Amino acid sequence: MPELPEVETIVRSLRKLTAGRRILKYHPLRNDYIHQGLEHRKKVTNSVIQEVERRGKYIAIHLSNNFSLLHHLGMSGRLLLQPGSDPLEKHTHLRILLDDGSVELRQRDPRRFGFAAILPSVELKTFVSWSHLGADPFRLRAPRFYALMAGRKQAVKSFLLDQRRIAGLGNIYTDEALFRAGIHPVRPTGQISSAEAGRLLQCIRTVLRESIVAGGSSTNDYQRLDGTLGLFQHKHRVYRRVGLPCPICHRKIEKLVLNGRSTHYCPGCQT
């Protein structure tokens, strides 16, 4: 699933390549992929893209007519900027034609866990998928982060994956950050000290920044806006490295399943 770095990479490209461009047509290929606001699709015509915003793993494209286009890529989704003449790939569910139709945004999603929506911009703050998200890791302060974990019995990885607590993290970056912080993924959050919480938050931010610079991790379906792959998968230290030596202590990386999610860790560095 595209996580915060992958979505942020797409958002930065959208800001650079689509700001100021006019929408010629909003063209769903599956009406059920538009979870809200399908009746507004004609109002999008001739509007101009003004700003692109990320919150957690969500993308909001703000338009000149006070509407916003919301996108979530789910498990297998891609948002691509392509020539309108390119053949349509299978599982393309949405086309947003720009300018004269020679260029378009296409959302492709084989497993259909993602979605799109059209809504008045003033309603974005009350849209459930957007409004219930927790703090952004880059804006969260260490004392608040520690307070969110204090007294809880929940495994720290499960806590970090809860989008209502921290928005944007998934399997890749929780595994990588916990490794760097030297914290075992099943350790109860209530047992983590204030100092450890501060170190973990810093590790989360560091690994996210490094991945954004590398264009994200292309481990399954993720592609950047132009269709190229991210490169951070080549810098993973534990994620999907089962049986390979830890880059620090050289013990073999192991995997466990936590709440149905594969979790990768070093038994030597994360005791």
82 lies in the same domain as 196: no
Q: Confirm whether 230 is domain-assigned.
A: yes
172/257 Cα distance (integer angstroms): 14
Are 243 and 31 in contact by the 8 Å Cβ rule? The answer is no
Residue 164 catalytic?
no
Provide the pLDDT confidence category of residue 156 given band limits of 50, 70 and 90: very high
Mean of pLDDT over the chain: 96
Of 102, 131, 160, which closes a domain? 131
Number of domains comprising the chain = 2
Strand runs labelled E in the chain: 23-28, 34-36, 49-55, 58-63, 67-72, 78-83, 92-98, 103-108, 115-120, 254-258, 261-265
Determine the average pLDDT of the residues in 128-132. 91
At residue 41, the pLDDT reads 94
Of 81, 105, 131, which closes a domain? 131
Determine the structural domain holding residue 227 and report its residue range. Answer: 142-265
Are 77 and 107 in contact by the 8 Å Cβ rule? The answer is yes
Residue 57 catalytic?
yes
pLDDT per residue over 54-110, tens digit each?
Answer: 999 999 999 999 999 999 999 899 999 999 999 999 999 999 999 999 999 999 999
CATH number of the domain residue 160 falls in: 1.10.8.50
Q: In this model, does residue 9 exceed pLDDT 90?
A: yes
At residue 103, the pLDDT reads 96
Of 80, 100, 131, which closes a domain? 131
252 lies in the same domain as 210: yes
126 lies in the same domain as 153: no
Q: Confirm whether 270 is domain-assigned.
A: no
Residue 261 catalytic?
yes
- Choose among 28, 172, 161: nearest CA to 107: 28
Instruction: For residue 81, list its beta bridge partners.
Output: 105
Burial 44-56 (b: 16+ CB within 10 A, else e): beebebeebbbbb
Q: Confirm whether 164 is domain-assigned.
A: yes
122 lies in the same domain as 212: no
pLDDT per residue over 234-243, tens digit each?
Answer: 999 999 999 9
107 lies in the same domain as 26: yes
126 lies in the same domain as 148: no
Catalytic residue among 3, 8, 104, 176: 3
Determine the average pLDDT of the residues in 112-140. 95
pLDDT per residue over 132-155, tens digit each?
Answer: 999 999 999 999 999 999 999 999
Q: Confirm whether 137 is domain-assigned.
A: no
CA quadruple 114, 238, 10, 109: dihedral positive or negative?
A: negative
Are 115 and 34 in contact by the 8 Å Cβ rule? The answer is yes
Q: Confirm whether 111 is domain-assigned.
A: yes
Determine the average pLDDT of the residues in 243-266. 96
Considering the chain, what percentage of its residues have pLDDT values greater than 70? 100
Q: Confirm whether 136 is domain-assigned.
A: no
156 lies in the same domain as 202: yes
Q: In this model, does residue 111 exceed pLDDT 80?
A: yes
From residue 173, how far is each of 37, 109, 157, 169, 191 by CA, in Å? 33, 22, 10, 6, 21
Residue 2 catalytic?
yes
Catalytic residue among 54, 55, 57, 106: 57
The answer to whether the pTM exceeds 0.85 is yes
Are 243 and 216 in contact by the 8 Å Cβ rule? The answer is no
HSE toward the beta carbon, residue 55, CA cutoff 13 A: 17
Residues recorded for the chain:
271
At residue 100, the pLDDT reads 93
Considering the chain, what percentage of its residues have pLDDT values greater than 90? 95
156 lies in the same domain as 237: yes
Burial 169-186 (b: 16+ CB within 10 A, else e): bbbbbbbbbbbbbbbbbe
Provide the pLDDT confidence category of residue 170 given band limits of 50, 70 and 90: very high
Catalytic residue among 12, 21, 25, 261: 261
Q: Confirm whether 172 is domain-assigned.
A: yes
Q: Confirm whether 271 is domain-assigned.
A: no
pLDDT per residue over 194-232, tens digit each?
Answer: 999 999 999 999 999 999 999 999 988 899 999 999 999
- The two beta strands, 58-63 and 49-55, are antiparallel
- The SS3 call for residue 39 is helix
27 lies in the same domain as 110: yes
168/2 Cα distance (integer angstroms): 9
Strand order in 92-98's β-sheet?
23-28, 92-98, 103-108, 78-83
CATH number of the domain residue 85 falls in: 3.20.190.10
92 lies in the same domain as 66: yes
156 lies in the same domain as 46: no
Amino acid at 108: R
At residue 220, the pLDDT reads 84
66 lies in the same domain as 170: no
At residue 270, the pLDDT reads 97
Catalytic residue among 2, 5, 137, 185: 2
